[in-house]
Amino acid sequence: MQGLLTDAFLTSLVFGAISAGIPLLLAGLGEQLSEKAGVLNIGIEGMMLAGAYVGFVAAFYSSSLWLGFAGGAAGGAAVALVMALLCVRHGLNQIVVGIALTLGVEGLTALLHHFQFGRTYPRLDAATSLPIPVLSELPILGPALFDRHPIVYGAIAMVAVMAFVYRRTNLGLDLQAAGDQPAALDVAGVDVVTTRTAAVIATGVMAGVGGAFMANIGAGLFIPFMTGGAGFIGIVLAMLARGRPLWVLAGALIFGACLSMTTALQVAGVNIPTDVIQMLPFAAVMAVLVIFGRRASLPAALGLPYVRGAR
């Protein structure tokens, strides 16, 4: 275990934490947005997977990663649109529809993948990075943090954007009200259903880009069921962050580090069975919930459809 703290190990750990953490970050920020607006988005796992599949297909046929991300956003948004239509507009049970969407996307993407790529399992070329001058020269952190694909910087910048929206804009207040006191928002002349619909679709876009990141940058290929619970971890991050985007980032990096332990430990020559390592992030989630469970908070009207005039 002495060789554990070498530069190579630390670099691969931080590098992996970012690679695994970015999809979680995007999912967590997206879920946070939905939950703020009062929609418990259980379908986010399906949105991520749809983003991963559509994103991969788009990137594969266009050989452009950017079109891949656009495709991922579209894929996530398409699933979100169904969710918004059924749950926000018509007030169907958010949990039932969320489960159904996740199951459906899992089945559909696996099915399509089987017919399209089932024999070939094509890979994308490794993503080209955009090194930030000076910073990327830093030891250990440089290559892991500042020599990455621009979407990594973009995702981290989203934290600041979301924080700004929540704190400083009317839109942020509207979102908050849609989740806590939808009736008050309605009285103030803002359409609750529209606000929530917009929030859910924005969630789909973020989750979709997160999924596309997993497929196109993380793995370089699409594998059925590849999101493996990342969307659900995103839900936990949103629950624990209590509305604060920065906390989502912190959580995403911690869980990302857990997820990337396998490769980092292999680099260090430590051989722990992958099944044990795969338990790490989920064990961490449960530990965090046991310790901070009471403090996890969710908006008052979460999960309840808003019907004007109904009580």
Return the number of the residue (153 or 282) whose C-beta is nearest other proteins.
282
CB of 289 to other proteins, least distance (A): 6
Are 299 and 244 in contact by the 8 Å Cβ rule? The answer is no
> Binding marks (x or -) toward other proteins, 19..58, rule CB under 8 A?
-----------------------x----------------
Q: Which tokens in the block code for residue 114? A: 């089987």
Q: What are phi and psi of 131, to 5 degrees?
A: -70, 135
Residue 160 binds other proteins, judged by CB under 8 A:
no
Applying CB under 8 A, which of residues 3, 61, 63, 111 lies at the interface with other proteins?
111
Residue 247 binds other proteins, judged by CB under 8 A:
no
Length of the chain equals 311
CB of 108 to other proteins, least distance (A): 5
- What b-and-e string marks burial along 119-144, b requiring 16 or more CB atoms within 10 Å of the CB? eeeeebeebeeeeeeeebeeebebbb
Return the number of the residue (104 or 142) whose C-beta is nearest other proteins.
104
CB of 285 to other proteins, least distance (A): 5
| CA 94 to mean position of chain CA atoms | 19
Return the number of the residue (127 or 215) whose C-beta is nearest other proteins.
215
CB of 62 to other proteins, least distance (A): 22
**Rounded distance between C-alpha atoms, residue 158 and residue 162, angstroms:** 6
- H/E stretch holding 147 reads strand 147-148
Return the number of the residue (250 or 304) whose C-beta is nearest other proteins.
304
Touching other proteins, residues 223-242 (CB under 8 A)? 224, 228-229, 232, 235-236, 239
Return the number of the residue (111 or 187) whose C-beta is nearest other proteins.
111
Q: Which tokens in the block code for residue 242? A: 């209590």
Q: How many CB atoms neighbour CB 77 within 10 A?
A: 24
DSSP state of 87: I
Touching other proteins, residues 283-302 (CB under 8 A)? 283, 285-286, 289-290, 293-294, 296, 298
Task: Give the binding range for other proteins (CB under 8 A) out of 70-78, 106-114, 179-187, 198-206.
Answer: 106-114
Residue 139 binds other proteins, judged by CB under 8 A:
no
Applying CB under 8 A, which of residues 106, 141, 220, 254 lies at the interface with other proteins?
106
**Rounded distance between C-alpha atoms, residue 227 and residue 299, angstroms:** 27
> Binding marks (x or -) toward other proteins, 67..96, rule CB under 8 A?
---------------x---x---xxxx-xx
Q: What are phi and psi of 147, to 5 degrees?
A: -130, 60
- H/E stretch holding 131 reads strand 130-131
**Rounded distance between C-alpha atoms, residue 255 and residue 247, angstroms:** 12
CB of 35 to other proteins, least distance (A): 11
Residue 83, judged by CB atoms within 10 A of its CB (0-12, 13-18, 19+), counts as buried
**Rounded distance between C-alpha atoms, residue 166 and residue 29, angstroms:** 12
Q: Which residues bind other proteins (CB under 8 A)?
A: 42, 82, 86, 90-93, 95-97, 99-101, 103-108, 110-112, 114-115, 224, 228-229, 232, 235-236, 239, 273, 275-276, 278-279, 282-283, 285-286, 289-290, 293-294, 296, 298, 303
